[in-house]
Structure 1
Amino acid sequence: YRRLFLLLSENQYFRLNTYLMGSMDSRKELTQQTLHAEPIIAPILTETLENELLDLSEFKLLEQADFEVYCAPTPKMPQMMREIGRVREESFRDVGEGSGLSCDVDLFDPNYHQLFVWHKTNRELVGAYRLGLVDELIEQGGIHALYSTSLFKYDEAFIKTLGCSIELGRSVVAKQYQRNMHSLLLLWKGIASFVQRNPKYTHLFGPVSISNDYSPVARQLIASVMSVHYYDNDKAKLVSPTTPLERNDQEFWRPDMLSSLSQLPLLSKVLSRLERGIGIPVLLKQYLSMNGKLVCFNVDPAFNYTLDGLIVVDLTSVPEKKLGKYMGYDNAVKYQLAHKKM
């Protein structure tokens, strides 16, 4: 039976490839909306940022060669927040996203923590992540204090399924550090270090973007494959989009055809052919490698119509070797063992 299934999957894979290649002529259909974008602010003076860093020593999570990783409440770092906002907008516009504002800092930022990497020798920001401590945010402002409620409809019933959780978002790496995975690795080491210091947190969740660099058919394909192979159907019943992804006329595949794309390398290969070298979004691949599960998709009109998937990662079920890559193997074993005893 397994051999028959593999044969059927292989045939479906080739059929799907054939159909997708036939759609390439229309892949340039416009998805990006015209934005009347404001000019991006100038970089914050290096001396100003370094002076602020002197007051953030208690928030330093780790140091590796020339890189320092911090995670601090936003009010503690107003100048670095502006620099993060500048780098966000610059980087997001490059991939067909962006707020269109001169500095991407929103109404949620002041109540969140900002995790960021600083290069000591180059004296510049490398990348950043936004962390929302869900228990604290809800206590302060209720469920709508969470950024993701602006994209997805859910209530406390969904949050309760996550235990003690952290909302992640606004992941960004500065242009000059995007050539390799080291910067993203450092950000994830920072997240793991924060969790290790605050071990009550067991789940990460938040929107992961599929940018307008992808054609409409590719975005539909990614959403369809995720819905078949990487979905938490129970949690999905508790979440709905504020702006649903509209079905495209080019969505010609059937669910059974998608069975051939259960392996991420195959999906990435198909996307790479369809998108002229662009495979699975890096951050989506990162979450999936940690057993992340999607629960909903939404289109964000306020962020240049980016497609967002709401994804959930249960850190207590991530393979020890994988979690150990970021937290350190012994720390990962200790963390997961402590939660198994609860």
Structure 2
Amino acid sequence: MREHNFRLVGEGTGQALDIDQFDKDYQHLFIWDKANNKLVGAYRLGLVDTLLAKHGIQGLYSRTLFDYEHPFLATMGKSIEMGRSVIAEEYQKSMSALLLLWKGIAEFVHRHPDYTHLFGPVSISSDYSDVARQLLTDTMTLHHYDQDSAQHVSAPNPPKLAAHPNWNAQLLSALADMQLLSRVIARLDQGKGVPVLLRQYLSLNGKLVSFNVDPDFNNALDGLIVVDLRRVPQRSLARYMGSDNAGHYLHRHNHSTP
């Protein structure tokens, strides 16, 4: 299902199956439609402390896309690497599938509350035009970028950006509004808008730290994004974790925001 669905959006490995050496050591979260006996969606979770103990830093998938060492991981504390999010084609029209995936992630964090950070690559497929991809990159860099953490990460294959794009600082400043940004991208690229998963991470106050083009995934543009769950507003966290559990989690980490 991963390879089939990734190809639909201009990604994928080009192989018969999307499977790699990391799958066996990562946790896999599934949504199952009991009524129709079908797989709805899945997410891959890597428990960084466990992976480091077993394989060292080479055991992290994101390390194949971005160059970083232990100082970057130290900026996050106990973390989970996220990736390979997929929803079956017939369930993609409803947002409930993505919501259920994130409720599953939140339940995992609730059961393992020592984990405070989520991070991983979020893709902008090659189906997007070069102009749209650069506009997304420039906007994310201005409004949703962690310069401090970014000092610890570099991209082996950074995107080739135009030196003089067709927009100015005033336009980029206005595009802090996600709905406006989506409308602009939709005009550029036949109704595509901001990628759904990127919007999801940003709604949780996610911060980008680097961008890299992945030639092994049909030249998808990957942004390495970090979410500090302790900094997510309680109301937002409660949507996935439940009000009581969100309150307990934030209280455990001495954070509580409306």
Q: Measure the CA separation in 1 of the matches of 2:198 and 2:115.
A: 21
Query: Once the 2 structures are TM-superposed, how far is the Cα of residue 254 of structure 1 from its aligned partner?
Result: 3.5
Q: Measure the CA separation in 1 of the matches of 2:204 and 2:252.
A: 19
Identity of aligned residues (%): 57
Query: Once the 2 structures are TM-superposed, how far is the Cα of residue 260 of structure 1 from its aligned partner?
Result: 1.5
Q: Is 1:171 matched up with 2:76?
A: no
Secondary structure of the structure 1 residue equivalent to 2:253 = helix
Q: Is 1:131 matched up with 2:68?
A: no
Query: Once the 2 structures are TM-superposed, how far is the Cα of residue 279 of structure 1 from its aligned partner?
Result: 0.8
1:216 corresponding residue in structure 2: 130
1:90 corresponding residue in structure 2: 4
Q: Measure the CA separation in 2 of the matches of 1:88 and 1:173.
A: 8
Q: Measure the CA separation in 1 of the matches of 2:147 and 2:239.
A: 29
1:308 corresponding residue in structure 2: 222
Q: Measure the CA separation in 2 of the matches of 1:284 and 1:149.
A: 20
Q: Is 1:319 matched up with 2:233?
A: yes
Q: Measure the CA separation in 1 of the matches of 2:162 and 2:53.
A: 41
2:181 corresponding residue in structure 1: 267
Matches within 5 A, 1:173-212: 173-212=87-126
Q: Measure the CA separation in 2 of the matches of 1:242 and 1:114.
A: 28
Q: Measure the CA separation in 1 of the matches of 2:164 and 2:98.
A: 34
The structure whose Rg is larger is: 1
Secondary structure of the structure 2 residue equivalent to 1:122 = coil
Q: Deviations over 1:224-274 (max 9, x none)?
A: 000000000100111011111011377233334311211111111111111
Q: Measure the CA separation in 1 of the matches of 2:164 and 2:28.
A: 40
Matches within 5 A, 1:97-112: 97-112=11-26
1:238 corresponding residue in structure 2: 152
1:119 corresponding residue in structure 2: 33
1:289 corresponding residue in structure 2: 203
2:56 corresponding residue in structure 1: 142
Secondary structure of the structure 2 residue equivalent to 1:228 = helix
Structure 1 segments (4+ residues) deviating >3 Å = 254-257
1:151 corresponding residue in structure 2: 65
Instruction: Output the amino acid matched with 1:95.
Output: V
Secondary structure of the structure 2 residue equivalent to 1:200 = coil
Residues 238 and 255 of structure 1: is their aligned pair in 2 closer, same or farther, counting only changes over 3 Å?
farther
User: Mind listing any 5+ residue stretches in structure 2 that lack a counterpart?
Assistant: none
User: Mind listing any 5+ residue stretches in structure 1 that lack a counterpart?
Assistant: 1-86
Secondary structure of the structure 2 residue equivalent to 1:187 = helix
Which sits farther off after the overlay, 268-277 or 228-237? 268-277
2:165 corresponding residue in structure 1: 251
The CA RMSD over aligned residues, in Å, is 1.1
Instruction: Output the amino acid matched with 2:131.
Output: V
Q: Measure the CA separation in 2 of the matches of 1:224 and 1:209.
A: 15
1:227 corresponding residue in structure 2: 141
Query: Which of 292, 299, 302 is residue 213 of structure 2 equivalent to?
Result: 299
Q: Measure the CA separation in 1 of the matches of 2:43 and 2:176.
A: 29
Instruction: Output the amino acid matched with 1:120.
Output: K
Q: Measure the CA separation in 1 of the matches of 2:34 and 2:89.
A: 17
Q: Deviations over 1:280-302 (max 9, x none)?
A: 10000000000000000000000
Instruction: Output the amino acid matched with 2:176.
Output: S
Q: Give me the TM-score of the superposition, normalised by structure 1.
A: 0.73
Aligned residues: 255
Assess if the C-alpha contact under 8 Å between 1:189 and 1:327 holds in 2.
yes
Which sits farther off after the overlay, 111-120 or 256-265? 256-265
Assess if the C-alpha contact under 8 Å between 1:217 and 1:250 holds in 2.
no
Which sits farther off after the overlay, 117-126 or 256-265? 256-265
Assess if the C-alpha contact under 8 Å between 1:228 and 1:255 holds in 2.
no
1:8 corresponding residue in structure 2: none
Q: Give me the TM-score of the superposition, normalised by structure 2.
A: 0.96
